[in-house]
Structure 1
């Protein structure tokens, strides 16, 4: 006989019913905060509110810094012009000297004797000339009266000419001896600071020595040598006024020098020259700027950075925070119709503080997402919160 069992469930209490209702409401709230489904049952993500600014064209300046090496306008190797022992050193390392000031003394005794010997030879040559001249004058009337033959007079004249030639040689020899004697006192070829002196009193010095007596640097003004890459040079050529490179160099604004400790040198300089060709090894081209050095702060061998400031009119500025990089390219999220965002690549031509100077990719009037880019993807819908680009320019340094 089949027996049917029936299970009877007791009605729930009032408290249990209230808890169940509260749980349903909480689930509904959580579901609505995360998204919702449309009429077709597809899930719709929530709309995020993000700050958006409108692109405008404005004026700005950019600064580029290049590593530089400093040299005096004159860096002269002071070398011995004659061989001998160094008998005196008149200056010390680091001293400032003026042009023509004695620096070193080489033992001059042998050169003094050479000069005296050349002087004696000169006197003998003069006497021979005088003697030969007297002989010619004595024979001239005798030949005229046919007392002696013309050949004797011509012979005397030849002796006289030879004596004059020997006199010229003696004069040259004495002049050369005087020059060598003068070289025993080494004079400063220019005004400037004395470098290292590797020799001491008693050292043998001469023209064949590989090391100079010292290096003399004229640092009333200093040269700063720096190099630009090929791309930076092309940007310089396209951004500066003028037809030729020389005209563009002259049109450059004053440049600044940042010293090795990071401080700014108080005097501004100017770019004077640019080399005629690129270095094949480094792919760069060298520039030379000059800076005044009235206080003597700068010395040859110093290093620093040359800072070049360029002015840009009517350029597009974008905050770096509004960009992201992907595969070596820089992108922004632009807001389009229905507040959908799409990524757009931009071409950057320079920096100005925390801003990019944009050459291509966006135009005035475009709307760009400022922050929250990590939460976005192409096609995402946002709720724009308009902000002013001018306010960003005021709060962030250019």
Structure 2
């Protein structure tokens, strides 16, 4: 009669095991609703800018060349220094030119003395002609000689002025203010008037030009957008140009757009734009490669969304996942216009109040019901009515 008590515990344990298995299967059949982190799309005022490549160009450039022949006696500047307009730069041996001035001055004095004598003779002949003491021909010859001597005085005076000018040219002066580069000649070098090689170059760097290039196609598209009302023209006070240096840092001074070329470069299909920047510390040097942010127009209802909320399929089509009114996932084809930092500027496909999914994308599929979580509100679960 011991079999009764032994059989009861085994039966009881088996029943408990079956109950436990049944309860596990019932819990496993329940799938929790996946969460989807979203941001609420909204329109905002946005200034459309273009980032254009360019190079710096001096505001003014002057090459120093001699205007007379001679031997360089002295260089009067230090290479790399700032010079002012009119500062002496080189001294050429001027002994021959001083002698030319003295000779021209003597020629002028001789011509003036001859003129005085000829004028007195012509005056006497005029009085004698009235008394019929000289013939008309003699009087005419005296008048002609007077006119010739006057021309000789004028020529001698011009020769003296030319000699003085050449003497002045023996001191080469800075034609503009700016920073002077290296000298190609030293003391003792022979230079010739209007030679091909410049002795030095002066560049004015404050302010400084930045020549930018923009494709003619982009310029045409910008004008069409302005004409169609897609963009609003920005005010003159806001039409400032921001410069990015080679290392990606932003230049501390803003520039202004000066002009754009009215012709397209045939080889590149681009148009040149010129901006003017202050350069008080000489941070910008001629020939530097830079990039400039140039404002083009303003859009009052621009749609900007995080880049992580936009993906591309195998065909390259940009797509986005949004949550509809029933908390279901919808797939949208979108058109991206340009990248703005870590966001996309959307041209088509999204509108204000759309809930764009940016987190949990790997767990969802189109048509699936999800639990919306507004990531801009600290992760609270809601329908995104307050952005």
Q: TM-score, normalised by structure 1?
A: 0.77
Which deviations, in whole Å up to 9, do the C-alpha atoms of 1:41-66 show, x marking residues without a partner?
xxxxx975432343221234565433
Partner of residue 299, structure 1 = 285
d(CA) in 2 for partners of 1:54, 1:265 = 35
Q: In the alignment, does 2:111 pair up with 1:125?
A: yes
Q: In the alignment, does 2:262 pair up with 1:283?
A: no
Aligned to 1:255, the other structure's residue is in SS state strand
- Asked if the contact 1:220–1:292 (Cα under 8 Å) also holds between the matched residues in 2, the reply is yes
- TM-aligned CA distance change 1:158 to 1:386, over 3 Å: same
Partner of residue 347, structure 2 = 359
Q: In the alignment, does 2:311 pair up with 1:324?
A: yes
Aligned to 2:334, the other structure's residue is in SS state strand
Higher mean C-alpha deviation, range 190-199 or range 270-279: 270-279
- Asked if the contact 1:333–1:343 (Cα under 8 Å) also holds between the matched residues in 2, the reply is yes
- TM-aligned CA distance change 1:149 to 1:105, over 3 Å: same
Higher mean C-alpha deviation, range 185-194 or range 74-83: 74-83
Q: In the alignment, does 2:158 pair up with 1:194?
A: no
Higher mean C-alpha deviation, range 78-87 or range 362-371: 362-371
Shift of 1:155: 1.0
- Asked if the contact 2:322–2:354 (Cα under 8 Å) also holds between the matched residues in 1, the reply is yes
- TM-aligned CA distance change 1:388 to 1:312, over 3 Å: farther
Shift of 1:321: 0.4
Shift of 1:220: 2.8
Q: In the alignment, does 2:191 pair up with 1:205?
A: yes
d(CA) in 2 for partners of 1:286, 1:16 = 89
Aligned to 1:103, the other structure's residue is in SS state strand
d(CA) in 1 for partners of 2:204, 2:76 = 19
Which deviations, in whole Å up to 9, do the C-alpha atoms of 1:211-255 show, x marking residues without a partner?
2111112223222222223354356556789x9xxx968454333
- TM-aligned CA distance change 1:363 to 1:213, over 3 Å: same
Residues 227-376 of structure 1: matches in 2 within 5 Å? 227-234=213-220, 237=223, 250-308=236-294, 312-326=299-313, 327-336=315-324, 341-373=329-361
Aligned to 1:370, the other structure's residue is in SS state strand
Shift of 1:139: 0.9
Higher mean C-alpha deviation, range 364-373 or range 97-106: 364-373
Shift of 1:319: 0.8
d(CA) in 2 for partners of 1:232, 1:390 = 39
Higher mean C-alpha deviation, range 77-86 or range 99-108: 77-86
d(CA) in 2 for partners of 1:391, 1:304 = 40
- TM-aligned CA distance change 1:334 to 1:96, over 3 Å: same
Partner of residue 383, structure 2 = none
Q: TM-score, normalised by structure 2?
A: 0.79
Shift of 1:103: 0.5
Residues 163-174 of structure 1: matches in 2 within 5 Å? 163-174=149-160
Residues 105-116 of structure 1: matches in 2 within 5 Å? 105-116=91-102
Shift of 1:133: 0.9
d(CA) in 1 for partners of 2:318, 2:377 = 22
Count of paired positions: 363
Aligned to 1:317, the other structure's residue is in SS state strand
Which deviations, in whole Å up to 9, do the C-alpha atoms of 1:182-204 show, x marking residues without a partner?
11111011221111212111222
Contiguous gaps of at least 5 residues in structure 2:
1-9, 380-387
Shift of 1:360: 2.1
Higher mean C-alpha deviation, range 98-107 or range 367-376: 367-376
CA RMSD of aligned residues (A): 3.5
Aligned to 1:122, the other structure's residue is in SS state helix
Shift of 1:281: 1.9
- TM-aligned CA distance change 1:49 to 1:230, over 3 Å: farther
